[in-house]
């Protein structure tokens, strides 16, 4: 049997975990909104048309923040079309996803939905076809208490109190040729600088996210980040990263190693932030917003159905193998909690999502639901700096991939220690020897594990077999324990006690 060793101390910390790294994303794409979270007439719908069965599943995930309204959608969106009396709202051809947008669900409905879901909004502004004036107007509409044109319009629409949106994205994937109103880095940085300036003048309390490259494979990557950071540094708080992984021609070993690339990508952008901070001799810091990340491959690119309303698009059916990679990506985010302060699993319902719905019928969870559930609920507090000694293996694309990848979190308030671990080894159990250096009186709580499933096992509305089970953990002896990690397994090791 192979062995791995994990050693850490409460005093050696990566950083405080910002709860917003467990955020998610809802875009006007496919059935994410219409038929997903919003379906008037559904048997569970409340007075606002919000599906209660979906809200109940989201409540389990404890999602702290949701990004809206896009995504590619935002670059062609006129936010004014989605406010005011519903009967007066126009239907528009939505170019990003080749659908018809009814605008029956807009800014105010989203804010009400966030309150119902006990989550905070993260808004994106249109810097594709529109610009600084429209972004400033939307901010005034949402956040100003009253006594101005746009804030009084919100009040006239029935929302007396301001929405108080704190986090705003300055456009979306602006270097992508697929983006409506795509821009060169010079065009974007000029517009983003001026937009950031007037938005901060309108509400100095907000935080802003400047667009990085659409992904690390873009020819613009690196130079785009440096230019955007240099131009907007004093007015922004975060830079965006987007990362999706598909299996493609990979075998399972290579697919599960793709979180190694994710780790390198995050570290690269964090390094660029450190470089600009040093170059500018600045006391200000810009952190990372990984505001789109997930596995996305089964459905490929969303089909373009030709101007239907809320067609089925991008509805990936996830399997157990995908759940393992989602868990590995969550572990990667935790290991970079000193630089990653915002992250959004894209998306939340129906479109590449952990939750699926049937229009007029059931809602159910996919296998990827569970790693997200575990980390969002138990990954609170401070990420610890581990010393990991694991067997290694090579894959088609990656060398020295650890069989076991892991992150540990200490919650001072509840005196809970949680270790998240994935055994990538396809055939062998691994004995993980855990050594805790400066903890006292810790008692094992449980070992949550998902293992033993066929990698291709999926869920349907009638059967959801891929679920975690709770098993006992061995007692600690001299602050050490050995825990068996099954082949191809997701593991959550939970302890409770006190510290010195």
Which CATH code is given to the segment(s) 2-10+383-499?
Answer: 2.60.40.1180
Give the pLDDT confidence of 208-238 residue by residue, as tens digits.
999 999 999 999 999 999 999 999 999 999 9
For residues 228 and 170, give the distance between their C-alpha atoms in angstroms, rounded to a whole number: 11
For residues 390 and 408, give the distance between their C-alpha atoms in angstroms, rounded to a whole number: 15
| Parallel/antiparallel/unpaired status of strands 2-8 and 387-389 | antiparallel
Give the contacts of 365 (CB within 8 A, at least 6 positions apart).
57, 354, 355, 356, 459, 464
Distance from chain centroid for Cα 235: 23
pTM: 0.96
Give the contacts of 29 (CB within 8 A, at least 6 positions apart).
70, 71, 72, 73, 96, 97, 302, 313, 314, 347, 351
State which residues of the chain have pLDDT below 70.
299-302, 498-500
Q: Which residues pair with 319 in a beta bridge?
A: 458
pLDDT attached to residue 70: 94
Which CATH code is given to the segment(s) 18-378?
Answer: 3.20.20.80
Place of tokens 């006129």: 78
pLDDT attached to residue 500: 47
Q: Which residues pair with 458 in a beta bridge?
A: 319
Using CB atoms within 10 A of its CB, is residue 375 exposed (0-12), middle (13-18) or buried (19+)? Answer: buried
Question: Which among 41, 61, 126 is positioned nearest to 353, based on CA atoms?
Answer: 61
Q: What is the DSSP letter of 178?
A: T
pLDDT attached to residue 304: 73
Give the pLDDT confidence of 110-121 residue by residue, as tens digits.
999 999 999 999
Q: What is the 3-state secondary structure (H, E, C) of 5-69?
A: EEEECCCCEEEECCHHHHEEECCCCCCCCECCCECCCCCCECCCCEEHHHHHHHHHHCCCEEEEC
Give the pLDDT confidence of 362-374 residue by residue, as tens digits.
999 999 999 999 9
pLDDT attached to residue 498: 64
The catalytic residue positions are 173, 292
Q: Which stretches of 107-184 are DSSP H helices?
A: 107-116, 132-143, 149-156
For residues 333 and 221, give the distance between their C-alpha atoms in angstroms, rounded to a whole number: 20
Map out the domains of the chain as residue ranges.
2-10+383-499, 18-378
Residues 194, 132: contact at Cβ < 8 Å?
yes
Q: What are phi and psi of 53, to 5 degrees?
A: -65, -35
For residues 112 and 118, give the distance between their C-alpha atoms in angstroms, rounded to a whole number: 10
3-state helix, strand, coil in the chain (%, to 5): 30, 30, 45
pLDDT attached to residue 196: 98
């Amino acid at each position: 049997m192979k062995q791995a060793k994990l050693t850490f101390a409460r005093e050696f910390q990566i950083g405080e975990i910002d709860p917003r790294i467990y955020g998610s994303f809802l875009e006007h794409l496919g059935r994410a909104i219409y038929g997903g979270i919003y379906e008037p007439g559904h048997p569970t719908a409340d007075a606002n048309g919000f599906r209660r069965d979906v809200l109940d599943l989201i409540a389990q995930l404890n999602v702290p923040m949701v990004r809206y309204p896009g995504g590619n959608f935002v670059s062609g969106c006129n936010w004014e079309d989605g406010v005011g009396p519903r009967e007066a709202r126009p239907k528009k051809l939505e170019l990003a996803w080749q659908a018809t947008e009814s605008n029956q669900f807009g800014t105010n409905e989203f804010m009400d939905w966030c309150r119902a879901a006990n989550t905070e909004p993260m808004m994106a502004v249109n810097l594709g076809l529109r610009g600084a004036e429209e972004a400033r107007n939307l901010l005034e509409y949402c956040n100003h208490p009253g006594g101005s044109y746009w804030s009084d319009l919100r009040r006239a629409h029935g929302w007396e109190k301001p929405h108080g949106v704190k986090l705003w994205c300055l456009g979306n994937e602006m270097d992508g040729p697929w983006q409506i109103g795509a821009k060169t880095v010079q065009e974007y940085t000029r517009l983003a600088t001026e937009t950031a300036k007037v938005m901060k003048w309108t509400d100095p309390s907000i935080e802003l996210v400047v667009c990085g490259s659409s992904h690390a494979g873009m020819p613009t990557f690196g130079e785009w980040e440096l230019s955007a950071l240099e131009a907007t540094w004093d007015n922004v708080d975060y830079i965006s990263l987007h990362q999706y992984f598909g299996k493609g021609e990979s075998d399972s070993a290579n697919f599960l190693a793709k979180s190694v690339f994710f780790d390198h990508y995050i570290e690269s952008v964090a390094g660029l932030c450190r470089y600009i901070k040093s170059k500018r001799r600045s006391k200000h810091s810009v952190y990372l917003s990984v505001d789109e990340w997930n596995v996305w491959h089964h459905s490929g690119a969303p089909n373009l159905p030709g101007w239907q309303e809320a067609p089925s698009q991008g509805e990936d059916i996830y399997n157990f193998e995908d759940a393992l990679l989602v868990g590995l990506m969550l572990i990667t985010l935790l290991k970079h909690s000193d630089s990653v302060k915002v992250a959004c699993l894209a998306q939340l319902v129906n479109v590449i999502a952990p939750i699926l719905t049937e229009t007029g019928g059931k809602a159910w969870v996919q296998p990827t639901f569970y790693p997200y559930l575990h980390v969002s609920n138990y990954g609170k507090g401070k990420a610890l700096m581990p010393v990991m000694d694991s067997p290694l293996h090579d894959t088609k694309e990656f060398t020295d991939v650890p069989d076991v990848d892991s992150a540990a979190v200490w919650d001072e308030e509840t005196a809970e220690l949680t270790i998240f671990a994935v055994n990538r080894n396809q055939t062998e159990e691994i004995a993980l020897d855990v050594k805790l250096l400066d903890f006292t009186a810790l008692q094992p709580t449980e070992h949550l594990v998902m293992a033993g499933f066929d990698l291709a096992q999926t869920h349907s509305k009638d059967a959801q077999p891929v679920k975690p089970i709770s098993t006992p953990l061995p007692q600690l002896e001299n602050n050490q324990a050995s825990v068996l990690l099954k082949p191809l397994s997701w593991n959550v090791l939970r302890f409770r006690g006190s510290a010195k």
